[in-house]
Amino acid sequence: MTPPVLQCDKLTKDYGRFRALESLDLEVSPGEVFGLLGPNGSGKSTALRMVLGFLRPTIGSARVAGFDCWRDSVEVRRRLTYLPGELRLYENMTGLELVQFLARLRGGSIDGDVTALARQFDIDLARPLVQLSSGMKRKVALLAVLVPRVPLVILDEPTNALDPTMRAQLLDLIRAAKGRGQAVVFSSHVLPEVEAVCDRVGILRLGRLVHLQSMDELRREKVIWARLASAPAGWPDLPGVTPVTPLSREVAFEVTGPPGPLFAWLGTQTVEEVRVEPTGLHPVYLKYHGADA
């Protein structure tokens, strides 16, 4: 069995009496894209900073490629790349100088084809960063993160300041990293992007991991909506079928099993319109972070 690239065991961080992260158990395998979700204050940044070796855990541990993130932080940083949500770059450097500098700082070399990727990103690597727009600077930072062939890539809000075309290219590059066997931690507030690229997702709330789910499993769940000629007399009692609307002409059901029994029940009604949609991450996220959470 292939060992995980990232392993968090009861990872906990206290600031005095305030617990920012509580007992996080998590594994990310080679070739897996893991979505880490949650609003500000949920514990995401704290967890990532402990993985990066910037913070010492109060309890528990985090390991990357077998190395302890606090005790062996230098070895850990050689084996990962990190794109922060807020960039702070050496703007006196050119794009190429920055990519080369960060590679040497890690103790390695540039493994991928920088020129080809720069052409794909439409970046002039010879220009000083101070002359670039915020979107171009972010592209250079992505280049520095995606070119090295390290075991773990951590992306925190990577599509900030990117245009729609570049966002789509970035998702393709994440899939390419997955295909090479790299593990990717993808933290984003843009749920459709998470749905498009992630294999599993975890949702943090108030420092706790409250939901962990395979995206394949989530994609199998559906919402079936129908408009009827008149409101039904009552709900059908069917396994894996949960009504999510009041009894009325317009009804909707969450379906986690085969939809055939529900369609058979709808066949007993006068149906004017029917629609089948994937459940998606949005209702799952709202369960923990919506107004009624």
How high is the pLDDT of residue 109?
Answer: 67
Cα separation, 118 vs 121, whole angstroms: 5
pLDDT tens over the chain, length 293 residues: 789 999 999 999 999 999 999 999 999 999 999 999 999 889 999 999 999 999 999 999 999 999 999 999 999 999 999 999 888 889 899 998 998 888 888 776 666 678 888 888 888 889 999 999 888 898 999 988 988 889 999 999 888 878 888 889 899 999 999 999 999 999 988 899 999 999 999 999 999 999 999 998 888 888 999 999 999 999 999 998 999 899 999 999 989 888 999 999 999 999 999 999 888 888 888 888 876 65
Q: Where are the domains of the chain?
A: 6-216, 221-289
Q: Return the axis-axis angle of helices 164-179 and 114-121, rounded to nearest 10°.
A: 150
Contacts from 261-270 at CB under 8 Å and sequence distance 24+? Answer: 261/236, 262/224, 262/236, 262/238, 263/224, 265/236, 265/238, 266/226, 269/226, 269/228, 269/229, 269/232, 270/228, 270/229, 270/230
β strands within the chain, DSSP E = 6-15, 18-28, 33-37, 59-64, 67-68, 80-83, 152-156, 183-187, 200-205, 208-214, 222-228, 241-243, 250-255, 271-278
Looking at CATH, the fold of the domain delimited by 221-289 is given as Alpha-Beta Plaits (3.30.70)
Look at residue 1 and give its three-state secondary structure. coil
Are the C-beta atoms of residues 8 and 154 closer than 8 Å to each other? no
How high is the pLDDT of residue 292?
Answer: 61
CATH class of the domain defined by 6-216: alpha beta
How high is the pLDDT of residue 100?
Answer: 87
